[in-house]
């Protein structure tokens, strides 16, 4: 009986340690995801700015009719 209890105590302690490890890992993954989402939002913002600038530059180019006149 004592052997079974010791075995169960060992298993429960190992499970508790595993849960703590997984919680820690999950926290790190959550932080990494949050940072990746922020980075993605920043890159999307910069991409839209670049598209806008390129669009403005294209609109300033002379048309074929203006060049041939």
* pLDDT on residue 63: 85
Mean pLDDT, the chain, whole residue set: 94
Query: How does pLDDT run across 2-30, given as a tens digit for each residue?
Result: 999 999 999 999 999 999 999 999 999 99
Tell me which of 37 and 63 has the higher pLDDT. Answer: 37
Query: How does pLDDT run across 46-59, given as a tens digit for each residue?
Result: 999 999 999 999 99
DSSP string of the chain, one letter each residue: -HHHHHHHHHHHHHHHHHHHHHHHHHHHHHHHHHHHHHHHHHHHHHHHHHHHHHHHHHHHSPPHHHHH-
Q: Is the pTM of this model over 0.85?
A: no
């Amino acid at each position: 009986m004592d052997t079974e209890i010791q075995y169960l105590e060992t298993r429960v302690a190992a499970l508790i340690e595993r849960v703590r490890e997984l919680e820690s890992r999950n926290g790190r993954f959550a932080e990494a995801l949050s940072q990746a989402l922020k980075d993605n939002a920043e890159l999307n913002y910069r991409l839209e700015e670049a598209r806008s600038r390129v669009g403005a530059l294209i609109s300033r180019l002379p048309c074929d009719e203006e060049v041939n006149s």
